[in-house]
Amino acid sequence: MSETGRVVLVGAGPGDPDLITVRGTRALARADVVLYDELATGDLLDLAPARALRINVGKRGHEEPTRSQADINALLVEHARAGRTVVRLKGGDPLVFGRGGEEMTACVEAGIPFEVVPGVTSAIAALTYAGIPITDRRHSASFAVVTGHKDPSRAAEGTRWRELGRAVDTLVILMGMRNLEALVAELIAGGKAPSTPAAAIMHGTLPQQRTCVATLADLPRVVREQGFGAPSAIVIGEVVRLREGLSWWERRPLFGRKVLVTRARDQVAELAAVLRSAGAEPVIEPMIELVAVDDAGTRREIAAALERLDDYGILVFTSSNAVRFFAGELESLGERAARLATDARTFCVGERTAEVALEVGLPVHVVASGRSDAEALLGQLLESLPTTGQRVLIPRSRIGRSVIADGLRRAGHEVDSIAFYENRRPAIDCAGLRDRLVRGELYALTFTSPSTVDHFLECLDEAARAAAARCMIAAIGRTTARRLEACGLPATVVPDRPDMVDLVEALAAAAAAEDGGAPGDPRRTTPRSGSAARSDDEGDDEHHDGGGRE
């Protein structure tokens, strides 16, 4: 650790965590300390290392901050002087009404190195997600962004609203909801036409986004009647007229709909991100937890297999998790084990399993193509291997299927199929889940393995189970769909491939069809009352060897 650390001011963007920049993501990954605003929480904090200290400094619009700006400046300096990399994670852009300049000055005065990572400002992004271009050559050649938060000790108190209303084509006001009525009165008094189109966008870029459109004169009344509050961006100008034809975010098939995500917590990010991009609000309630096996007998099996890795000519992976847990064991044994593992031929079920194998430094020789399932890989293995005599290692979950191991043994090969990890039920807020179901909050339920189905059903009472049957139900593949069918909750949606993007696209297509719109992406779906469609096997961890996603 260096004698003096540094400070990185990172713009978190307007709300949607996927709008953070690549450089901002990299900065978070190297952070020792993260000081974050109330608007920059959730998924973005997960980008920092687990060891990083996270400090909520609580700034949110007009509300009182958890800490004063002087306290925040002092924390930045204190931790940087202790040799730490400090990320100051700020909503929007650090230098757009974010007091980033004050924090930079504090670093300069303390002799602390710093850098700034710009962020996407809500002044543009919220309008974009509402279908309102901030400029358009048909309506607007200029714009101004101004804070409506009056602070007698700062420059905002001297804003000349009457002149400003006439000076630009598009006016965007941030932090203006508390003073909106007075601000509108000033603009009209300065000559802005009361009939000028205006809009307020609350929770811009999020699945909870709401937009209201009115004339400038009517906007304070309309936002009050519709219950708008902070954080909201206000836009005034002729560009607002374009919203009716250009609105896109709020028209997505899954917009604003809550979708239950049951994947393991350390694997939830991919599905949650794809759901958010489709307009859905992910409700994260992990139903499985994957952990390394810890019983003494199995640990001895693993140690013995790794000790004689050079005896194995073939490594077979039936899931990305099998790769990860195998790689974790290799890492603990040092370079020799890693070298021996790369000498073996590696066979993978599914493209994702192969991707993860390559990421951890394993060569990939065969990937099950077409149907990405255990049966497909077994056929390819038998075609590729000599008639008999190969020594094969299959790292698997404790409850994985034995299709490949049994088939190879019948063909005369020596197979060690060893459990490297197991599936456990995590702590689940069952009461909260039942309440959400009974209140009808959840539009869709997603399941990525049979165990997610089993653990979900264990949480339900009769009323919640009946409510679950009224939801759209999505299964990642045929094994999970069969389990749902057997439990009396047939899958509404099963994608053609066991892939998170395909799963969400199929869900969106089913939602569009249900709403009477165009079906969109022609993924395979089944009627809600019908039996589950057949799909390729899916990812790993349970009672099957499928295509490597779980």
CB-based contact 451:288 (threshold 8 Å): yes
What are phi and psi for residue 108, nearest 5 degrees? -60, -45
The whole domain housing 341 covers 294-422
* 299 and 405 housed in the same domain: yes
- Bond prior to 490 in cis (omega within 30° of 0): no
Indicate the pairing of strand 85-90 with strand 6-11: parallel
- For residue 449, tell me if it sits in a domain: yes
Q: Name the one residue in this structure whose structure tokens are 């260096």.
A: 2
Q: In this structure, are 19 and 55 located in the same domain? A: yes
Q: Please report the sign of the dihedral spanned by the C-alpha atoms of residue 43, residue 47, residue 52, residue 54.
A: negative
User: Residue 544: what pLDDT?
Assistant: 41
Which pair of tokens denotes residue 521? 């992406």
Instruction: Write down which residue in 388, 422, 456 finishes a domain.
Output: 422
Averaged over 20-25, what is the pLDDT?
96
Q: What is the pTM of this model?
A: 0.80
pLDDT band at 219 (very low <50, low <70, confident <90, very high): very high
pLDDT at 537 over 50: no
Considering the domain architecture, whether residues 167 and 89 belong to the same structural domain is answered as no
Asked whether the predicted pLDDT for residue 415 surpasses 50, the reply is: yes
Residues 487 and 457 in one domain: yes
DSSP strand E in 207-305: where?
Answer: 210-215, 232-236, 258-261, 281-284, 289-292
Distance CA 181, CA 183 (A): 6
The answer to whether residue 269 sits within a structural domain is yes
Among candidate residues 16, 32, 37, 537, the one labeled active-site is: 37
Residue 421 scores a pLDDT above 50: yes
Q: Residue 528: pLDDT above 60? A: no
Same structural domain for residues 69 and 176?
no
- Among 120, 152, 168, the domain-final residue is 120
What local confidence, expressed as pLDDT, does residue 547 receive?
Answer: 41
Q: Is 175 known to be catalytic?
A: yes
Indicate whether 473 pLDDT > 60: yes
Long-range CB contacts (< 8 A, 24+ apart) of 459-464? 459/428, 459/430, 459/433, 459/434, 460/430, 460/433, 460/434, 461/434, 463/434, 463/438, 464/433, 464/434, 464/437, 464/438
Phi, psi of 389 (to 5 degrees): 95, 0
Domain boundary among 183, 214, 246: 246
Using CA atoms, how far residue 370 sits from 342, 345, 521, 535, in Å, is 26, 21, 20, 11
Claim to verify: residue 144 and residue 85 sit in the same structural domain: no
Residue in 16, 32, 93, 175 annotated catalytic: 175
**CATH classification at residue 489:** 3.40.50.10090
Q: Which one-letter DSSP state was computed for residue 196?
A: -
Provide the terminal-to-terminal Cα distance of the chain, rounded to the nearest Å: 37
Query: Of 1, 21, 25, nearest to 85 (Cα)?
Result: 1
Check if 192 is active-site.
no
> What's 142's domain CATH number?
3.30.950.10
Question: What are the CA-CA distances from residue 510 to residues 317, 479, 516 (Å)?
Answer: 33, 20, 10
Residue 550 has pLDDT above 50, yes or no: no
Catalytic residue, candidates 59, 90, 192, 258: 59
Same domain, 12 and 113: yes
Mean pLDDT of the chain: 86
- Residue type, position 144, single letter: A
Instruction: Tell me the average pLDDT across 25-41.
Output: 88
Residues 273 and 326 in one domain: no
Residues 417 and 298 reside in one and the same domain: yes
Whether 307 and 412 map to the same domain: the answer is yes
372 falls in which pLDDT band (50, 70, 90)? low
Mean pLDDT for 107-135 is 97
pLDDT above 50: residue 43: yes
The token pair at 495 is: 């994608």
Residue 523 lies in a domain: no
Which CATH number do you get for residue 68?
3.40.1010.10
| 338 and 298 part of one domain | yes
Q: Give pLDDT tens digits for 316-339.
A: 998 888 999 999 888 876 665 556
The total of structural domains in the chain comes to 4
